[in-house]
Structure 1
Amino acid sequence: MKKESGLKMFFRTTYQTGSPIPYILSIQIILFVLLHIADLLVDLGVISFPLYDWMLTNLTLPNTFSEFILRPWTLITYPFVYDGLFRIVFDCLWLYWMGTTFLNFLNKRQLLTVFFVSFFLSGLSFLALSQVEFLAKGPYSSLFSNSMGLASLVASIMVLVPNLEIRLFLFGTVRFRTIAIVFFSLEILFYLFANRAAAATFPIAILWGAIFMYQLQAGNDLSKWFVFQRKKKLRVVHPVKKVPTYRSYKGDLPNQEVIDEILDKISQNGYESLSSREKEILFRISREEQE
């Protein structure tokens, strides 16, 4: 038996599990590497064009509608952009952990709905809140990273299984609700210093994750909004009237198909529409049941 190569095994165990998480993580990591390769090329003087700054400008979500209109694709690209190593490592680990926990209870369509819808809601909310002068202040003027999606995932899990217990190194067994509250607090605190508009947007992402889960528990799966079914072409079918075939019997009843056809005929046209043979069958059935 031919031994499987390490690279082939890696791709099989990583990308053929049916989970969308490895694909999301791969996009984030590849984009992070490309950004810093561009930065390195500029620092080494290989290129004079500020490629790193150009990529950040065109991939992160701006804080004004006038700039957003010129770069509308940033509403889709901003969650995958990272400029710091610590930040991307932290978020990748959290996404893997939270995504895996979510998929232990629900399916990948629901995960993608919670995760990606939060980006659209948070992005549009960030654009609106950035117009408030007080919130527009901060060292970062644009929005990037998948923190909003993580917030929605954590909130949805907290609503679904608030008393879920997780064993943490050095801390022992901790309830998931406690972990979620600590995560939300740290993220909001970070954004308060870095990007006030993002800090004001963060609770909206939390609210979306909670609403999705409350609706799901009430029997309303919001992820079904994104299930598209092909319209089937109408086909004209000309019904062929089937003539009942009666089985000869002596002492035994006719088959159930014949009985059903007779009863259908009575419901549509009345008892008088039956033939003498059909009336005889009904009479025989009633006598057999009485006996």
Structure 2
Amino acid sequence: MTNNIWNDLKLKFFKSGNPVMLYIGINAAIFVVVSLLSVIFYFSGNRGFIDALVDEYLAFPSAPNLWLTRFYTVLTYQFFHADFFHILFNLLWLYWMGQIFLDFVKPLQFHFVYLGGGILGAIFFALIFNLVPVYQPSVGEATLKGSSAAVMAVFTAAATLVPNYSLRLMFFGEVKIKYLLFVYIFLDFIGVKEANAGGSLAHLGGALFGFTYVKLLQSGTDLSTIFKKKPKLRVVKNDAPKKSQSMVNQKEVDAILDKISKTGYDKLTKEEKDTLFKASKN
């Protein structure tokens, strides 16, 4: 029975090909391992040892003198969380917004936005903490951890791409995700004066990355292609008819995206949804 559960989890989170589930699985697995280690060291008389280890070597530091030796933390900090509710809300938003975003982009593009948003979030946090006088007394002890900046990048990218996509919320009914994004950005903006100012700054950096990526994508520039392996040169026959068909398909996709921006994703027909799904896989 245990083997079956483990195999089901591996299939769902690590072998499905879905980057949303992959990042949820990685974050959850790391949280479970760190939590178990914390309990073990707690009973051995070393309370707080694991948390201190994570903060020292895996969280992203604000101190410039540590950036060269802790350069890898721009990635590692994204997969460690402070407590259960920290990871719970991050992964819930990643699931909700990630699935929406993935309906319109390729897996490589999703990976680029998630990781790139986390990296820019860390850089934005570090720059503001070192350049703005009010934060400078905290430089040297402030660190950053959690997937919030990466999730915020995905959230913002989805809201920029399909701003009128609606979600049904308890007590509020249907709400367009562009309004949800506005609320979260506002909360982060006023949060820069609170105890978790570093987290709010990282969120804003992630949001900036998600917004910029989609705007460039809509103008014809896909930043994620820098990681795409270029095919070897080969001789092929004239492919003019296929190119024409591709142009027709692109026009159809553009028309569907325009419809989403005006009436929402839920108003699409089954055929239109199938067309978008196929286009995202090409």
* Alignment TM class, shorter chain as reference: 0.7 to 0.9
Q: Amino acid of the residue matched to residue 134 of structure 1?
A: V
- For residues 14-163 of structure 1, the aligned pairs below 5 Å read 14-45=13-44, 47=46, 50-132=49-131, 133-136=133-136, 141-163=142-164
> Is the 8 Å Cα contact of residues 59 and 77 (structure 1) preserved in structure 2?
yes
Q: Partner residue of 1:193?
A: 194
Q: Amino acid of the residue matched to residue 28 of structure 2?
A: I
Q: Amino acid of the residue matched to residue 34 of structure 1?
A: V
Report the CA distance shift for 1:55/1:171 in structure 2 as closer, same or farther (over 3 A). Answer: same
Tell me the distance in 2 between the aligned counterparts of 1:26 and 1:12: 11
Which sections of structure 1, spanning at least 5 residues, go unmatched? 235-291
Detail structure 1 runs of 4+ shifted over 6 Å in the superposition: none
Tell me the distance in 2 between the aligned counterparts of 1:127 and 1:67: 11
Question: Which piece of structure 1 moves more, 134-143 or 93-102?
Answer: 134-143
Question: Which piece of structure 1 moves more, 25-34 or 100-109?
Answer: 25-34
> How many Å apart are 1:81 and its aligned residue?
1.0
- For residues 172-211 of structure 1, the aligned pairs below 5 Å read 172-211=173-212
What is the number of residues matched between the two proteins? 231
Q: Amino acid of the residue matched to residue 106 of structure 1?
A: V
Q: Amino acid of the residue matched to residue 108 of structure 1?
A: P
> How many Å apart are 1:40 and its aligned residue?
2.0
Tell me the distance in 1 between the aligned counterparts of 2:47 and 2:184: 41
> How many Å apart are 1:39 and its aligned residue?
2.6
Tell me the distance in 2 between the aligned counterparts of 1:213 and 1:49: 41
Q: Amino acid of the residue matched to residue 33 of structure 1?
A: V
> Is the 8 Å Cα contact of residues 118 and 152 (structure 1) preserved in structure 2?
yes
Question: Which piece of structure 1 moves more, 38-47 or 28-37?
Answer: 38-47
Greater Rg by CA: 1
> How many Å apart are 1:51 and its aligned residue?
3.4
> How many Å apart are 1:159 and its aligned residue?
1.4
SS of 1:228 mapped into structure 2: coil
Tell me the distance in 2 between the aligned counterparts of 1:137 and 1:199: 18
> Is the 8 Å Cα contact of residues 136 and 195 (structure 1) preserved in structure 2?
no
> How many Å apart are 1:71 and its aligned residue?
1.6
Percent identity between the two aligned chains: 23
> Is the 8 Å Cα contact of residues 60 and 78 (structure 1) preserved in structure 2?
yes
Report the CA distance shift for 1:36/1:157 in structure 2 as closer, same or farther (over 3 A). Answer: same
Tell me the distance in 2 between the aligned counterparts of 1:13 and 1:131: 42
Report the CA distance shift for 1:178/1:229 in structure 2 as closer, same or farther (over 3 A). Answer: same
Q: Amino acid of the residue matched to residue 214 of structure 1?
A: K
Tell me the distance in 2 between the aligned counterparts of 1:168 and 1:195: 27
> Is the 8 Å Cα contact of residues 188 and 202 (structure 1) preserved in structure 2?
no
Tell me the distance in 2 between the aligned counterparts of 1:10 and 1:87: 22
Q: Amino acid of the residue matched to residue 187 of structure 2?
A: L
Tell me the distance in 2 between the aligned counterparts of 1:9 and 1:35: 22
Structure with more contact order per residue of length (Cα contacts < 8 Å, sep ≥ 6): 2
Q: Amino acid of the residue matched to residue 56 of structure 1?
A: D
SS of 1:76 mapped into structure 2: helix
Q: Which has the larger share of helix?
A: 2
Report the CA distance shift for 1:172/1:49 in structure 2 as closer, same or farther (over 3 A). Answer: closer
SS of 2:229 mapped into structure 1: coil
